Amino acid sequence: MTTQHPLFQTLQQSRRRGQLQDAAVALAHGSGGKAMRDLIDDIFVASFDNPVLAQLEDQASLSLAALTAQGDRLALTTDSYVVDPLFFPGGDIGELAVNGTVNDLAVSGAKPLYLTCSVILEEGLSMETLRRVAISMKTAAIAASVNIVTGDTKVVERGSADKLFINTAGIGVIRQGVEMSAHNLQAGDCVLVNGALGNHGAAILIARGELALSTSLESDSQPLNGLVEAILAVCPQIRAMRDATRGGLAAVVNEFALASAVGVRLYESSIPIQEEVKGVCEILGLDPLYLANEGKLVVVAPRSQADLVLSAMKSHPMGSEASMIGEVTSAPSGVVTLQTAFGAERVIDLLVGEQFPRIC
């Protein structure tokens, strides 16, 4: 048996116990040296601890056999998060990064399994803030039953970023028989959502403190993979599914209508929107149909299965306020209309730009 040199044993123990001594991020924490190693050990490895990440390689090695045993296709997605402020009622940038990527996988019909986490840190960022974000990501990953298995850390000079940016990529497996796509819509299909719209966008806007408004609104940030599984269990023939993030409900249904060359008619009286969200929008001249969400999905189901899907959604905690809000029409092609409470119709088009920035 080979005996390790005492110095090598000490270095191994140091690697496992790496601890930060700094109160704020410095350029040295992105240099590749001991300061960076300690930051990664103390904040990210300690928070995201799992067998794949524990290998501390430059990549995560995943078993193909384990993946293909759960489906016949891989789903891969990536997203970047630059929300301001970092912490807001109902969530923070860390939870958002995990839930957003999990949801992007889930609405393709995939079972989310693995995430990556890359962070861009601004010099001067509080280590306590970074630690809170990492712990939040860990909590969100556990709730969504995924593992964060690899990542990257970069530090930029003070003033070159806004505190903290996060990029997450995700891998999931799509089960056999699931073929959801924005190109699948057919006339007569029904459009459903899993709950009240616009809470995230309104909550972020109020949290910035630029307006003299006070509400109890919270972000709806939540993982939707469990809800998607419940939906597919009763109706694997779902036409399309999408989480309504930036651009809100309006963006999603317009994408569906354009991709499938169909029309979509929404019914204002059926769309769930909390009174506080309506109030914020009325004061600021915003349309809640365009507000960002982080825990809402839009589902298009065949009419014959719509009631069954709605019942499955309502039986799940993430869909207890689900509603059937519209239908697919053969014409006008690529156009979304809203039938108002007064019986009139108006076109719901895509916005040229965001109603306001830095939401997700």
76 occurs within a structural domain: yes
Q: Which residues contact 87 (CB under 8 A, 6 or more apart)?
A: 93, 132
* CATH code assigned at 206: 3.90.650.10
Q: Which residues contact 58 (CB under 8 A, 6 or more apart)?
A: 150
Half-sphere exposure of 283 (CA within 13 A, CB side): 14
Using DSSP, state whether 264 is helix, strand or coil: strand
Quick check: 156 and 123 in contact, CB under 8 A?
yes
Does residue 124 sit in the same domain as residue 203?
Answer: no
pLDDT at 15 over 50: no
Using DSSP, state whether 55 is helix, strand or coil: helix
Does residue 214 sit in the same domain as residue 339?
Answer: yes
Does residue 124 sit in the same domain as residue 204?
Answer: no
Instruction: Compute φ and ψ for 290, nearest 5 degrees.
Output: -105, 0
259 occurs within a structural domain: yes
Using DSSP, state whether 254 is helix, strand or coil: helix
Residue for token digits 């408004």? Answer: 213
Does residue 219 sit in the same domain as residue 149?
Answer: no
Between 358 and 161, residue with greater pLDDT = 161
Residue 155, amino acid: V
Average pLDDT (69-96) is 96
Average pLDDT (208-227) is 89
User: CA-to-CA distance for 115 and 171, rounded, in angstroms?
Assistant: 6
Does residue 272 sit in the same domain as residue 232?
Answer: yes
User: CA-to-CA distance for 186 and 184, rounded, in angstroms?
Assistant: 7
Quick check: 40 and 117 in contact, CB under 8 A?
no
User: CA-to-CA distance for 192 and 313, rounded, in angstroms?
Assistant: 9
13 occurs within a structural domain: no
Does residue 195 sit in the same domain as residue 336?
Answer: yes
Does residue 106 sit in the same domain as residue 194?
Answer: no
Quick check: 20 and 127 in contact, CB under 8 A?
yes
- Segment among 32-41, 142-151, 254-263, 292-301 with least mean pLDDT: 32-41
Burial 189-207 (b: 16+ CB within 10 A, else e): bbbbbbbbbbbbbbbbbbb
Question: What domain count does the chain have?
Answer: 2
Q: How confident is the model at residue 2 (pLDDT cuts 50, 70, 90)?
A: very low
Does residue 165 sit in the same domain as residue 24?
Answer: yes
What is the reported pTM? 0.92
Domain's final residue, options 123, 149, 174: 174
Does residue 252 sit in the same domain as residue 217?
Answer: yes
Residues in the chain: 360
Domain's final residue, options 150, 174, 198: 174
Instruction: Compute φ and ψ for 358, nearest 5 degrees.
Output: 60, 50
User: CA-to-CA distance for 60 and 45, rounded, in angstroms?
Assistant: 13
Does residue 151 sit in the same domain as residue 227?
Answer: no
Element (H, E) at 66: helix 64-68
User: CA-to-CA distance for 132 and 127, rounded, in angstroms?
Assistant: 9
- Segment among 53-57, 84-88, 301-305 with least mean pLDDT: 53-57
Residue for token digits 């007064």? Answer: 342
Quick check: 93 and 164 in contact, CB under 8 A?
yes
Q: Which residues contact 292 (CB under 8 A, 6 or more apart)?
A: 198, 200, 201, 204, 244, 245, 246, 247, 248, 359, 360
CA distances from 9 to 12, 33, 54, 126 (A): 5, 19, 17, 32
Residue for token digits 């299909």? Answer: 189
8 occurs within a structural domain: no
Instruction: Compute φ and ψ for 157, nearest 5 degrees.
Output: -65, 150
Residue % of the chain over a pLDDT of 90:
85
User: CA-to-CA distance for 289 and 273, rounded, in angstroms?
Assistant: 9
Domain's final residue, options 174, 199, 234: 174
Residue % of the chain over a pLDDT of 70:
94
* CATH code assigned at 32: 3.30.1330.10
Tens of pLDDT, residue by residue over 291-322, are: 999 999 999 999 999 999 999 999 999 999 99
Q: Which residues contact 211 (CB under 8 A, 6 or more apart)?
A: 205, 284
User: CA-to-CA distance for 144 and 113, rounded, in angstroms?
Assistant: 9
Does residue 58 sit in the same domain as residue 128?
Answer: yes
Does residue 150 sit in the same domain as residue 256?
Answer: no
Its domain, for residue 295, covers 190-347
In eight-state DSSP terms, residue 90 is T
**Structure-token pair, residue 136:** 């939040």
In eight-state DSSP terms, residue 351 is P
156 occurs within a structural domain: yes
